[in-house]
Every structure is written in C-alpha cells, then in structure tokens.
Structure 1
Amino acid sequence: MFSSNHPRRFSKGAAALILFLPFLSVLSFDTERELPAHAVPPELEGVGLEEKLGNHIDTNLSFVDEQGKQVRIGDYLKEGKPLLLTLVYYRCPTLCSLYLNEISTALKELNLQVGKEFNYVAVSFDPKEKSDLAKAKKEVYVKDYGRGDGSGWSFLTGNDPEIKALSSSLGFTYKWNPYNDQWVHVSVAYVITPEGQISRYLKGIPMDERTLRLSLVEAGNGKIGDLTDSVALFCFQFDPSKNRYTLYAFNIMRIGGFLTVVILAAFLFRFWKKQNSSSTV
C-alpha cells in the first residue's frame, strides 16, 4: 500500500524536476559548437541601413501627398527649413505604428514646431499604398500633435522607381516577406538640410527629444533654435554608437581654458588697479 503522503511528495518532486529542466538543458548545451560569426536569418538578408552622411538626396523625386497632389521632395526644403524624413508603410501592423508613435511623442516634447521651424515627411515604401491611407495617417498624427494647422506635415505615397531611388540615396534597404505578408525593414529617421544633404541618422526606438532637437538645429545651420541650442551644440557632439549627443571633451576644455584666462585677467586688472591707486597716494 502506498501511503497517502506519497502523492504529495511526488507532486513536489515533479515540480522540482520541471523547474530544474531548463538548467539541465543549459548544462547539456554543446559549448564547443560554434555558430557562423555573421549568420543572418534568410528573412533578414538584404535588409538594413548603410549610412550615407553628407550624401544629397534627389530633391526632384516626385511623389503623391495625402490630398492626391503631385509633389517633389524639394517642396519641403524651401525657406531654409530642415526636414525630418521617415520611410514607413501605412498598413504596417507593428513596427511602423510604434515608431510613428515614438516620433509623435518626441515632436510634442520639442520646443520647435512642425511647419514653423522644420517640416516632417513620411514616405511609404509600399508602392501599392495610395493617398487615402496617407490621409488617414496624417489626420491621426496631426490631431495627436495638437499644435498648428497641420501645415509642414506630409504623408506621401509613390511609384516603385521613385521609392527605390529615395531609399537607395538614404542607404535604406527593405524587402517583402511572403510568409507573413509584411515588409521587413529597420526604423530610422533622417534629418535633411535645406540643401537636401543627409545630416543625421536617428535610429531605433525610443527617440530622444534632445537628440532630435539638436539634430534639427544643426541641420538648420543656425537659422532655427536659440542661444541655448547653439551653446549645447558647441559642448555636445553626436556619438553614432550611442545614437545621441554626448559631451565633447575638447570644447569643454576650451571653455575651461577661456574662463581661466578671463578670471586671471580680472584678478590681474584688479591687482594692477589697487597697486596704481596706492602709488598715487
């Protein structure tokens, strides 16, 4: 006969064994087996980003805005305003919506206004998407932004040749995954100067508001922003590895050296003035 306590002890033992199984699997892993150093899943081959800082995009590329009107990329670079540009697709069920939400959050925190100091343009890289989808997206994000009348915002669609020309000049590569009926791509925002030059790549999620602001001010060549931004750009330098601006030690030392000279000059002037007044008595 089994004791009535046996089932309880068995349950505890089974639970302990189940909890221990993951550790057994780790211990049994072949540590000598090596995976290929640069192994890339097949679905990610041909997808990524090649930074082309300083490259000029073709400002004559033609797209269709959310109203169904033909526009050129250059139309958003007038009046000396920099451009914040993203490549997305409007039917994206996950990454694009999350990324656009992050951009919207950063724009709301920004002390620069879309349409006033800079423009924002989203371009769909799916040639099947049309202006009705673009219009719906714009309405959502302009309403969420809550500032201005929506000018300076544009959500574009286009034909495959123009889309590929723009994405190529930006170093952005993507591809269709037939297994889940989605585009595979990375999330990047591009800061473009009024001359059409790629000034900054802002990668990943979340988007840092200060990094976005300084990137736009830098791209605007001092025409937007205030004195605080100019001082910040002198003291901070963009670090691509951290995807944000970090303290620039050399310029900090220059400021320190300048302040030392000023303080020393003030001390010597005061000393000279005191000595001079003593000698005239």
Structure 2
Amino acid sequence: MKPALSHILPRVTRVGFLTTVALVLVTSLPASAMPGAGKTPRSIIEAQKDLPPPVKGVDVQEHLGEALPLDGRFVDAAGKDVKLGEVLSKTKPTLMTLVYYNCPMLCNLVLNAQVQAMRELGLELGKDYEAVTVSIDPEDTPAQSLERRRRHLQSMGKPETAPWHFLTGTDAEIKRLADTLGFKYTYDASTKQYAHPAVVHVITPEGSISRYLYGATFPPKDMKLALLEAAAGRVGTSFDQIVMSCFKYDTATRRYGFYIFGFIRLGGMMVFCALATMLIYFWRRELKKGAAA
C-alpha cells in the first residue's frame, strides 16, 4: 500500500532541513577545519602572492670598497679591444650595470629604469658621471652593444659620443668582473636564459665599489646621492655637497634617509654665519659713527 502524500512531505522537509544545516556548517568552517585540510603548501602561498621561488645561485654579495679588475679585457661597441680601466672615468663616478642583450624582461626593466633616473638626476652624463654596461652573455656581440647604446642614448637625448660604454667579453673575463662585484648569476640551459639580480653598481673614480642600488626602479634622489658620495666632492654644485651632509645611507632599507645630525650641523653653520654677518654690520656702523664724530 502506497504511503499517503501527507506522510511523505514531512520526511522530505526534514531531510531538506538537515541538508541545509549541514551545508551551512560546512561552509562556515575554516579551511583548516575541513576534512583533509591542513597547512597550506608553501608553493600555493607563493603562487597566490605572485612571488617566484628563489633561484639558486642568484644573489648579490656586497664588496664595498673592493677594486675592480681594471686590467680586464673587453670589446666595446665599435669592436675595439679595451681594458676596463680605459673606459672607466678617472675623475668622475660611474654607473655600472651587468645585463645581457637577449634578456626577455628584467634587463630591459633595469636599463629603462636607469635611463629614467638619469634623466631626473640633475647631473649631466659626461660632465658629472659616466656609465658602463657589460653583457654577461659571452655570445653577445659588439653589433648588439652598438644597437643598445644608440637606443638608450637617443632616449636620453644624448649624442652618440656620450660616455656610456657597452661592452662584451669572454666568459672568463665576465665572471672575473662579476665575482669582484659580488654579482651572482646562473645560466638555465632548459630556457637558454640567464637568471640574475637587478642592481646598479656605483663605482668611484679610483675604480672601487662605492654603493649598490637595487630593484627595477631607482629613485633619482638615491642615485644622485650615491654618485655624489662616490665622487667625494668632485662633482655637483656646492649646494649638492651641503645637501649630501643631511642624508645618510641606511643599510637596512638600502635607501638614503634624512640625517638629523647633519641637519643640526648645517643649521648651526647657518646660525653662525648669520650672527657673524650681524656683528660685522654693527661693528662697521660703529666705526662710521666714530669717524663722523
């Protein structure tokens, strides 16, 4: 005998109610409380944060104060064999970058950011500083150096005679320079690409490492202060030298920050100059009064 419809409906209603309650409880629980849940794998967290996993062998080990191998042999954009010491300025600081010409992304970002900062420095390429770019790929050619050099100088509105040198070299000479700079890179045979850090090195006129500027963007203030610091007063205006005393490099943030004691010293000098000027004014006025009497 078939059950009456009035008896079936209450059971259906109860089943639907219990199902709804179960769904609410399940969806309200945190992911870690659900069956089979646990700690989220690190790979998933990094993927969600859009952070690539670290590449083994890629790093920067700062060698501040270390002298570059000035006898290192490279080839310039004209195809001429040159020593590193011949292209580095002996009177001005130098911005040095290590890249390679077939890089699909990072090298272009670094060089474009360097050009952008150089435009806004308030310092002039050739007059206040120079630049050297070295390819880490021994397969790169002087023709590629010439093309990159022209492109970046044109983007800055500079003539082709401007002192931004693009160099290629042998694997041994490249690694020798990179090791001195602490620039750690590696070659991935599967993709035929180099993995490398993003950094601009600031070199003193004596050929030693003064500062490292990191990232794919470079604040013009930091780059200018690093160049002024490396030049040790040999470039920039008198005002630049005064401003330099009010900023100090912070190794934690890798940025130049406001230096309160430098500002206090500057303020003290200004007060001293103002008082000296006032005393001289009153002294001369008294002399004039005495002469008139």
TM-score > 0.5 by shorter chain = yes
1:150 to 137, 161, 178: 161
Equivalent residue pairs, number: 256
Q: Deviations over 1:91-147 (max 9, x none)?
A: 000100111111111112222222222211110011111112111111111111102
1:66 to 70, 77, 80: 77
C-alpha change, 1:226 and 1:181, in structure 2 (3 Å) is same
Identity of aligned residues (%): 38
In the alignment, structure 1 residue 227 sits paired with structure 2 residue 238: yes
In the alignment, structure 1 residue 24 sits paired with structure 2 residue 31: yes
> Post-superposition shift, 1:242?
2.4
Residue type at the aligned position of 2:182: G
Residue type at the aligned position of 1:133: Q
Aligned-residue CA RMSD (Å)? 3.4
Q: Deviations over 1:7-35 (max 9, x none)?
A: xxxxxx9xxx9xx79x737984427x999
Q: 2:88, 2:132 within 8 Å by CA — same for their partners in 1?
A: no
Q: 1:115, 1:150 within 8 Å by CA — same for their partners in 2?
A: no
Per the alignment, residue 180 of structure 2 pairs with: 169
Structure 2: any 5+ residue segments left out of the alignment? Answer: 1-19, 44-51
Per the alignment, residue 217 of structure 2 pairs with: 206
Q: Secondary structure at the match of 2:162?
A: coil
In the alignment, structure 1 residue 216 sits paired with structure 2 residue 227: yes
Structure 1-normalised TM-score? 0.79
Structure 2-normalised TM-score? 0.76
Where do residues 1-281 of structure 1 align in structure 2 (5 Å cutoff)?
Answer: 24=31, 28-30=37-39, 44-259=55-270
Per the alignment, residue 3 of structure 1 pairs with: none
Q: Secondary structure at the match of 1:44?
A: coil
Q: 2:94, 2:203 within 8 Å by CA — same for their partners in 1?
A: yes
Residue type at the aligned position of 2:97: T
C-alpha change, 1:267 and 1:103, in structure 2 (3 Å) is closer
C-alpha change, 1:268 and 1:114, in structure 2 (3 Å) is closer
Q: Secondary structure at the match of 2:148?
A: helix
Q: Secondary structure at the match of 1:230?
A: helix
C-alpha change, 1:195 and 1:267, in structure 2 (3 Å) is closer
> Post-superposition shift, 1:261?
5.5
Q: Secondary structure at the match of 2:88?
A: helix
Distance 2:111 2:33 in 1: 39
